[in-house]
Amino acid sequence: MNPMIIPKAALDDWVRLLRSSYRVVAPRPLHGQHVFGEVGSASEFDLGYPTSVLPPKKYLFPAREDLLKFRTDAQQVEATIDGPRTVVLGVHTCDMHAMQLLDRVMATGYSDQHYLAHRNKTTLVSVECLKPCTAGSFCKSMGTLSTPEVFDLHLTDLGDAYAAEVGSDRGAALLPGLKAARPFADKDTARLNRVMSEKWPRFPLRLEFDVTELPSLLSTSYDSELWKELGERCLACAMCTNVCPTCYCFNVMDEVDLTLKSGKRLREWDSCQLDKFATVAGGHNFRTARAARQRHRFFRKGKYQTDAFGLLGCVGCGRCAEACLVHITPVDTFNELYRRQHQPAAATPQGG
């Protein structure tokens, strides 16, 4: 399907139209930041937002989610798989790459029924980033500044209108009924090309080496002193992993009613940065030191995911860098590892 033009003046009509068939969520301003939430009109959200506190991953993999209900007296178990049909408006391309990774992870081996059910009911409308979102972001270095194939509809801001590229039937289904939408004309193609060529120079390359070297850089950095230095500073607050679009660890727990006869099983996001994360039955904790946990986190982001799923575990969104109160960031960490390997004599402690 050829790209379409959606005039910005029609955004409000579009949202109202979508709301007759879907829950519509988009980045809403909150205390100087943005948070994805349900919207009823175009005035409630901002598609030019820098970044969101939590990634839109939360619609596919909620922070807290019921898994099943049970009765202990009647030996009954019933899965809770539910959720509204949702359109997520304004997913940045880095977050799209993260969802591509989650799609693979959640469908591989034991497939995650809850994730897949949400995924099937969700239409992703991505949006092209035209300038860097935050000082912590480094998408260009990670190769995530263009959307991967998994989008349903992809928007690019042309000033007074959006160029809308259709990526799937689900995406195409969002447009009929919007009278103001029209097919691309030649002048639109020229406008889109200009916007796209102007955007790239605005983004800095922040890694001091090519990202394809990252997995091997980590392989040879397992015993680096840097992990100890990070471990000393780290507060083990888990903000870095809780805001990360590619993290997917969770904890499962049961809650019983006061009758003690029925209850539910639920899951909640968990984090490798927390003290108890690696505690196994019997009480042994195989990752007590914060240094070991930091190393684990960065290995997950820069190597393990690539080994297992062929995609990088860090998409360069910069959320963890913005959240960390002691300024531990992927860019500084990866660059420092690189420097220590390549100019060992000149190595300096990572700046704070």
Binding site for ligand SF4 (CB under 6 A): 51, 92-94, 129, 132-133, 137, 139, 144-145, 234-240, 243-246, 273, 301, 314-320, 323-326, 328, 330
Q: Give the footprint of other proteins on residues 99-158 (CB under 8 A).
A: none
Residue number with CB closer to other proteins (303 or 319): 319
Distance, CA of 341 to CA of 343 (rounded, Å): 6
Contact at 8 Å (CB) between 45 and 90? yes
Residue whose C-alpha is closest to residue 126's, from 97, 104, 160: 97
* CB of residue 278 to ligand SF4, shortest distance in Å: 14
Question: Is 292 an interacting residue with respect to other proteins (CB under 8 A)?
Answer: no
Residues 6+ apart with CB under 8 A from 327: 233, 321, 352
Question: Is 32 an interacting residue with respect to other proteins (CB under 8 A)?
Answer: yes
Q: Among 130, 237, 266, 347, which residue interacts with other proteins (rule: CB under 8 A)?
A: 237
Stretch that binds other proteins, among 16-24, 28-36, 100-108, 294-302 (CB under 8 A): 28-36
Residue whose C-alpha is closest to residue 302's, from 224, 204, 217: 217
Q: Please tell me whether residue 8 adopts helix, strand or coil conformation.
A: helix
Residue 269: which of ligand SF4, other proteins, none does it interact with, CB under 5 to 8 A by kind? other proteins
Q: Give the footprint of other proteins on residues 67-86 (CB under 8 A).
A: none
Residues 174-203, one symbol each (x = binds other proteins by CB under 8 A, - = not), give: ------------------------------
Residue number with CB closer to ligand SF4 (80 or 279): 279
Amino acid at position 182, single letter: R
Distance, CA of 70 to CA of 77 (rounded, Å): 4
* CB of residue 314 to ligand SF4, shortest distance in Å: 3
User: Quick one: angle between helices 226-233 and 330-342, nearest 10?
Assistant: 150
Question: Is 275 an interacting residue with respect to other proteins (CB under 8 A)?
Answer: yes
Question: Is 234 an interacting residue with respect to other proteins (CB under 8 A)?
Answer: yes
Residue 311: which of other proteins, ligand SF4, none does it interact with, CB under 5 to 8 A by kind? none
Q: Among 133, 323, 331, 337, which residue interacts with other proteins (rule: CB under 8 A)?
A: 323
> Distance between alpha carbon 49 and the CA centroid of its chain, in Å?
15
Distance, CA of 142 to CA of 251 (rounded, Å): 29
Question: Is 236 an interacting residue with respect to other proteins (CB under 8 A)?
Answer: yes
Contact at 8 Å (CB) between 110 and 248? no
Beta-sheet strand order (sheet of 153-157): 33-38, 23-30, 86-92, 122-127, 153-157, 161-166, 4-7, 182-183
Contact at 8 Å (CB) between 154 and 128? yes
Residue 314: which of ligand SF4, other proteins, none does it interact with, CB under 5 to 8 A by kind? ligand SF4
Amino acid at position 157, single letter: D
* CB of residue 271 to other proteins, shortest distance in Å: 7
Question: Is 260 an interacting residue with respect to other proteins (CB under 8 A)?
Answer: yes
List of residues contacting other proteins (CB under 8 A): 30-33, 35, 53-54, 58, 63-64, 232-239, 242-243, 256, 258-260, 268-269, 271, 274-276, 290, 322-323, 325-326
